[in-house]
Amino acid sequence: MAGAGKGAVDKVLAAVIGTGQTKHTTKRDDVSIAGLCREAADRALDDAGMTWTDIDAVVVGKAPDLFEGVMMPELSMAEALGAVGKPLLRVHTAGSVGGSTAIVATSLVQAGIHQRVLTLAFEKQSESNAMWALSIPMPFSMPVHAGAGGYFAPHVRSYIRRSGAPTHVGAMVAAKDRRNGAKNPLAHLHQPDITVEKVQESMMLWDPIRFDETCPSSDGACAMVLVDENTADAHVSAGKGPAAWIHATAMRTEPTMFAGRDQVNPLAGREAAKALWEQAGITDPLEEIDVAEIYVPFSWFEPMWLENLGFVPEGDGWKLTESGETDLGGKLPINVSGGVLSSNPIGASGMIRFAEAAKQILGRCGEYQVEGARKALGHAYGGGSQFFAMWVVAADKPGV
Amino acid sequence: MRSVAVVGFAQAPNVRRTTGTANGVEMLVPIAHELYAQTGLEKRDIGFFCSGSSDYIAGRAFSFVMAVDAIGAWPPINESHVEMDAAWALYEAWVKLQTGEIDTALVYGFGKSSGSDLRRVLSLQLDPYYLAPLWPDSVSLAALQCRLGLDAGKWGEKDMAEVVARSRADARSNPNAQLSGDPTADDLLGEPYLADPLRRHDCAPITDGAAGVVLVAGERANEIRDTPAWITGFEHRIDAQNLGARDLTTAPSASSAAVAAGVDGASVAELHAPFSHQELILREAMGLGGEVRINPSGGPLCANPMFAAGLIRIGEAARRVWDGDAAKVVAHATSGPCLQQNLVCVMEAG
């Protein structure tokens, strides 16, 4: 083979046929880290109509090991993850990791290396203290000592100043996502009666981000079963359920800090989106995407990412949000599962976005199902708005 | 499978202690420059970057984030990271090449172990509820593994000393090695125990280091190297975590990875065995007979930068193919306590 076989490669088509999540909550002290992961994985296998012996390889993701205080926890979960005797990969790309992990699993199928891959991401925040883990002083680095909210608040202020957005838009996003979360039995926070006014009355944490505009700290896990075209076709024709076909994946990275960087509308996010839409054959994402799960840990990131993803021109994101078109029943429903604002097991949050997009295609969203959803976006970001991972899943095979 | 070859390899000098940061930037910048010089590629030619490192070695969350500065992620790059030895980062990059999305990849790994008490840090890899609270350290666990093999008559202390003597002697021709010399096995057996039955020389040294490798798909590899090291088998597996529940004198995951990757006929193997007796376990598990030359670089007993040492095995093995010393080589990487997780990469000349 050596030297031969160059040239174009035909990717194997890949699809999601099962997803599983835990009930996200502040503290799961009834299960170990392995038990938490097992619960999500069992549910995903169940959803796919598969058992552990069907799985060829396992791809695990989570945010920093210091969040639980366990170094490379996947090693001690080899049995719980059904990985003994199989390949096990561990991905870590900061907050985008849940998305990146799903993309690595997708590549294993698309490359023709495996037919059935289990991918899983988790965080059990109650085992340690994320604020501490994020605040270790490092030589030659300016300490933030404020967690993620303190880091991102200046970006939000800058967005408001640049776009001229009215200040209630953030509260609108928070009220919408929390109301949606109340329809999702697995969401951490259930606040069906929340209003924009109540959000605006909540405590200011990092101006202009209020308490109710902030994601919770959650224990939770999310898993998906990804399969190749033959397996997905057999699954569908056997009447076991539909498949969500993966049309495109993209990842981009830029450095944390340098003077020329636009942290409000990062170039890495814009380039990832451009590559994603091209790969998916999408020319007008606002018209062609039926539902989107976007990583919004603080309310204002909804309008910011709407622009970064190219759904609307720069400066117009808040207008779409304010018009109500991002709510269930709107032109582009965003985070109808409740989003990161309703559940945030950090390492899993990105994969939950990817899985919720797939669930919309599979028609498994119950009360928050977007009717007729045929094409969905899953999006994750991490670090100082510098790591991006995203995918497009659809009811039809690519090219159909 | 698409043809993919290793065409570039560079490493930092392996030393006991550097003055650089735990993010590896000071070690990685020269490596990136050397890789570009070796291959004639530029940063913009690289389709995908992937790295391997550990936050617990660096003593901070997100240590790999600053390492991205070493490769200069502007304009933005297509990039990923594994919390594993960078040999697995190379695997992820190889998978990406197999999808056809990219044609080139640069992979790197780094570990600055001098900033911590490595053997205690590695205790945190154990089951967090049942085992880690007892703080069994990595050297003690390896000593228990070694004792099991000695008691079972699978190897003797002399066999272990011979592994060390050969490694130190081979390392004399490796300018990046941390340790080298020409002790005899008898000299070594006269040394005191560090963790009975392991002597200090049976254990890999504590090393600060980093490494990088360039992968290229298709014909382009022939433009970069006269004899590229084509990857013809690439497999990895993991064994159960419970140290009391598996036979520690074998490595089933290394065996099945070696069979699947097709190691038969290789004349050189670079094995990531951080303890002398683990080389003996791996040779048997992977079916490497006496005709296979083991660790001509000196191996991890002469330099063991955490999270880069596995990648270095791949680079060192590839170098034998480039130089025409071997037509087929095997590289191996390990992760976790007592050889729990194992990766095998087979490379061949054209």
Could you state, in order of their start, the residue ranges of all structural domains in chain B? 4-117+206-224, 119-204+229-348
Residues 191-220 of B with CB under 8 A from A: 217-220
Q: Which of B299, B302, B320, B322 is nearest to B310 (CA)?
A: B299
Question: For A107-117, how does the pLDDT look when each residue is reduced to its tens digit (9 = 90+)?
Answer: 999 999 999 99
Radius of gyration of chain B (CA): 19
Alpha-carbon gap, residue A352 to B105, rounded angstroms: 29
Q: Lowest-pLDDT range, A19-33, A99-113, B49-63, B92-106?
A: B49-63
Query: What is the tally of helices (H) and strands (E) in chain A?
Result: 13, 11
| DSSP letter for each residue of A366-387 | GGGPPTT--EEEEEEEETTTTE
pLDDT confidence of residue A308? 98
Q: Is B183 exposed, middle or buried (0-12, 13-18, 19+ CB in 10 A)?
A: middle
Does pLDDT of B113 surpass 50?
yes
Q: Is the dihedral of CA B244, B249, B254, B258 positive or negative?
A: negative
Per-residue pLDDT band for A144 (boundaries 50, 70, 90) equals low
Does pLDDT of A5 surpass 60?
no
pLDDT confidence of residue A2? 39
DSSP B275: B
**Entry field: residues in chain A:** 400
pLDDT confidence of residue A147? 75
What is the crossing angle of helices A301-308 and A267-280, to 10°? 60
Chain-centroid distance of CA A147 in Å reads: 20
Alpha-carbon gap, residue A383 to A362, rounded angstroms: 31
How many degrees, rounded to 5, is the angle at CA B250 between CA B249 and CA B252?
155
Alpha-carbon gap, residue A69 to B71, rounded angstroms: 29
* Among B2, B84, B129, beta carbon nearest to A90: B84
Q: CA distances (Å), B259 to each of A56, B262, B271, B294, B322, in order?
A: 17, 5, 15, 18, 24
Mean pLDDT, rounded, for B27-54: 97
Answer whether B321's CB lies under 8 Å from B199's CB: no
Q: Which of A348, A328, A384, A362 is nearest to A187 (CA)?
A: A348
Question: For B219-228, how does the pLDDT look when each residue is reduced to its tens digit (9 = 90+)?
Answer: 999 999 999 9
Question: For B168-217, how does the pLDDT look when each residue is reduced to its tens digit (9 = 90+)?
Answer: 999 999 999 999 999 999 999 999 999 999 999 999 999 999 999 999 99
Q: Give percent of chain A above pLDDT 70.
A: 96
Does pLDDT of A201 surpass 50?
yes
Q: Match 């003055």 to its residue by tokens.
A: B19
Q: Which pair of structure tokens corresponds to residue A199?
A: 């959000």
pLDDT confidence of residue A130? 79
Q: Is B183 on the interface with A (CB under 8 A)?
A: no
Residue A97: count of CB within 10 angstroms of its CB: 32
* Fold for the domain defined by B119-204+229-348: Peroxisomal Thiolase; Chain A, domain 1 (3.40.47)
Mean pLDDT, rounded, for B303-328: 98
Does pLDDT of A366 surpass 80?
yes
Say whether B119-204+229-348 and B4-117+206-224 share the same fold: yes
Alpha-carbon gap, residue B96 to B53, rounded angstroms: 19
User: What residues contact A397, with CB distance under 8 A and at least 6 apart?
Assistant: A13, A229, A245
Cβ distance A89 to B79 less than 8 Å, yes or no, reads no
pLDDT confidence of residue A140? 66
Answer whether A103's CB lies under 8 Å from A389's CB: yes
Instruction: Provide the strand spans (E) within chain A.
Output: 14-21, 57-61, 88-91, 116-124, 204-206, 209-210, 219-228, 244-253, 291-293, 375-382, 387-394
SS3 B164: helix
Q: CA distances (Å), A14 to each of A61, A104, B3, in order?
A: 19, 12, 22
**CA torsion angle B294 B334 B62 A381 (round to 10):** 110
Supply the mean pLDDT for chain B: 97
Alpha-carbon gap, residue B144 to B224, rounded angstroms: 46
Q: Lowest-pLDDT range, A51-65, A71-85, A130-144, A274-288?
A: A130-144
Cβ distance A91 to B59 less than 8 Å, yes or no, reads no
Q: Which residues of A touch B222 (CB under 8 A)?
A: 3
Alpha-carbon gap, residue B43 to A94, rounded angstroms: 23
User: What residues contact A250, with CB distance under 8 A and at least 6 apart?
Assistant: A272, A273, A275, A276, A279, A388, A389, A390, A391
One-letter amino acid at B32 equals A
Answer whether B62's CB lies under 8 Å from A151's CB: no
Q: What number of C-beta contacts closer than 8 Å exist between A and B? A: 223
Selected for mutation to probe chain B from A13, A59, A60, A93 (highest B CB count within 10 Å) is A93
Q: Is B81 on the interface with A (CB under 8 A)?
A: yes
Q: Is B82 exposed, middle or buried (0-12, 13-18, 19+ CB in 10 A)?
A: buried
**Entry field: residues in chain B:** 350
pLDDT confidence of residue A132? 76
Question: For A278-312, how does the pLDDT look when each residue is reduced to its tens digit (9 = 90+)?
Answer: 999 999 999 999 999 999 999 999 999 999 999 99
| DSSP letter for each residue of B17-51 | --SS-TT-HHHHHHHHHHHHHHH---GGG--EEEE
pLDDT confidence of residue B22? 83
Q: Which residues of B touch A73 (CB under 8 A)?
A: 128
Give CATH superfamily name and number for B4-117+206-224: Thiolase/Chalcone synthase (3.40.47.10)
Q: CA distances (Å), A303 to each of A17, A296, A300, A322, A376, in order?
A: 31, 9, 6, 9, 18
Per-residue pLDDT band for B281 (boundaries 50, 70, 90) equals very high
Alpha-carbon gap, residue B27 to B21, rounded angstroms: 9
Residue B331 backbone zone (phi > 0: left; psi -120 to 50: alpha; other: beta) = beta
Cβ distance B92 to A89 less than 8 Å, yes or no, reads yes
Q: Which residues of B touch A66 (CB under 8 A)?
A: 55-56, 60-61
Cβ distance A6 to B256 less than 8 Å, yes or no, reads no
Residues 89-118 of A with CB under 8 A from B: 89-94, 100, 103-104, 107-108, 110-113
Supply the mean pLDDT for chain A: 95
User: What residues contact B22, with CB distance under 8 A and at least 6 apart?
Assistant: A138, B57, B58, B59, B60, B63, B112, B115
Per-residue pLDDT band for A136 (boundaries 50, 70, 90) equals confident
Q: What are the percentages of helix, strand and coil residues in chain B, rounded to 5? A: 40, 20, 40
Q: How far is A84 from chain B (nearest CA, A)?
A: 5
Does pLDDT of A7 surpass 90?
no
Q: Which residues of A touch B21 (CB under 8 A)?
A: 138-140
Q: Is A386 on the interface with B (CB under 8 A)?
A: yes
Cβ distance A72 to B84 less than 8 Å, yes or no, reads yes
Cβ distance B69 to A255 less than 8 Å, yes or no, reads yes
Per-residue pLDDT band for A8 (boundaries 50, 70, 90) equals low
Does pLDDT of A1 surpass 70?
no
A371-375 own/partner pairs: CB under 8 Å, 24+ apart: A372/A290, A373/A290, A373/A291, A374/A290, A375/A247, A375/A282, A375/A288, A375/A289, A375/A290
Per-residue pLDDT band for A259 (boundaries 50, 70, 90) equals confident
Facing residues of A204 across strands?
A210
